[in-house]
Homo-oligomer: A and B are copies of this chain.
């Protein structure tokens, strides 16, 4: 029988074997790859380089323990052999742009839901015992409870992106219970740091680059969310991997404070010399599918000992400083 009981008596599955990281050239994937390498893993990075970049892996690619394979996750045949002998798969590959998924609903079905199915099939048919997945707070839809716990329901996502994350979670749970994999599901707050290709901070910098005197803000600026620095995100995932031995392990990953869009806009304008005029377009949401309020209950990951190095505000400020500094180089 496949039960849900904690398996705290089991040793961690082979600590130093080869692991697969899908989306490993992305903004979260690359620091994760670094962390895994530092722990002595051989890392097979699968990425289609659509938003991930080879440069994000930098000198890690000189390490004989890292192999970058440019593949399309929509094709099971193109990824299956990379899973041979792997001890775990970290599945981070996805369309990162929620709005693109609304414009073309097939994007999240194929790169999200079908991609996860292919990862799970590649894991199952290669006897990979552990799957770790980057889900998102957007599975909660518009929650009525803040901070929102992992047990919140009903789960009614607002976007096709959110639907593909929930569909992926559901398949991971089913594979875990049907075929004996161990599943880890991480529901991310907004993850920020170097290498971002989307998100409000990145978008505001792009807007000011094109039009330095005016910053158009979608919504009324009162959307307020928690942010987690990417290094903290990686630390939390590695901690959960090391300490969680249930059949399916679900963790919110975030901080306990929030930052509003208005605060972010003002910080970014200040970092640009304070000359731009901020214009709010109005409305509670930035765009259809936007989740205006987000704050996750992170008691579960805290109970494992997790304390983020940076609060939401500190993470936002650091990320803005980095982007402003890069702009001046």
A residues bordering B, Cβ < 8 Å? 1-2, 4, 102, 105, 109, 113-114, 117, 120-121, 124, 139, 141-142, 150-164, 166-167, 169-171, 173-175, 177-178, 248, 250, 283-285, 288-289
> Which of B4, B102, B167, B285 is in CB contact (< 8 Å) with A167?
B167
Can you list 12 A-B pairs with a CB-CB distance of less than 8 A? A4-B142, A113-B113, A155-B170, A158-B178, A159-B177, A160-B171, A163-B167, A163-B173, A163-B174, A164-B170, A166-B170, A170-B170
Chain B residues whose C-beta falls within 8 Å of the C-beta of A178 in the assembled complex? 102, 105, 158-160, 288-289
A157, B173: Cβ atoms closer than 8 Å = yes
Do B171 and A284 touch across chains, with their CB atoms under 8 A apart?
no
Q: Which of chain B's residues have a CB closer than 8 A to the CB of A154?
A: 150-151, 153, 250
For the complex formed, measure the closest distance between the CB of A297 and the CB atoms of chain B, giving whole angstroms: 12
Assess whether A158 is in contact with B173, with CB atoms less than 8 Å apart: yes
Interfacial chain B residues near A173, Cβ < 8 Å: 141, 156-158, 163
Whether B1 pairs with A283 at a CB distance below 8 angstroms is yes
Measured between beta carbons, the chain B residues less than 8 angstroms from A120 are 105
Verify A156–B121 contact, CB threshold 8 A: no
B102 engages A109 (CB within 8 Å): no
Q: Do A158 and B141 touch across chains, with their CB atoms under 8 A apart?
A: no
Alpha-carbon separation in the docked complex, A153 to B156 (Å): 12
Is A1 in contact with B285, judged by CB distance below 8 angstroms? yes
Residues of B within 8 A of A170 (CB): 139, 155-157, 162-164, 166-167, 170
User: A167 and B113: CB pair below 8 A?
Assistant: yes
Question: Which 8 pairs, one residue from A and one from B, show the smallest C-beta to C-beta distance?
Answer: A153-B153, A167-B167, A163-B174, A163-B170, A166-B170, A156-B173, A158-B177, A163-B171
* Contact status B152-A248, CB under 8 Å: no
* Contact A1 B171, CB 8 Å, known A166-B166, A289-B178: no
Q: How far is the CB of A122 from chain B (nearest CB, A)?
A: 12
Most B C-beta atoms less than 10 A away, residue of A2, A120, A124, A169: A169
Residue of B nearest to A290 (CB): B1
Whether B157 contacts A174 by the Cβ 8 Å rule is yes
Give A164's nearest chain B residue, CB to CB. Answer: B170
- Give Cα A109–Cα B139 distance, bound, in whole angstroms: 19
Q: Closest approach, in angstroms, between the C-beta of A39 and any C-beta of chain B? A: 29
CA of A161 to CA of B177, assembled, Å: 12
Instruction: Please give, as numbers and ranges, the residues of chain B lying within 8 Å of A163 by CB-CB distance.
Output: 167, 170-171, 173-174
Complex CA distance for A169 and B170, rounded to whole angstroms: 11
Chain B residues whose CB sits within 8 angstroms of the CB of A171 once the complex forms = 109, 160, 163, 167
Tell which of A139, A163, A164, A284 has the most Cβ of chain B within 10 Å.
A163
Alpha-carbon gap, A51 to B250, bound state (A): 36
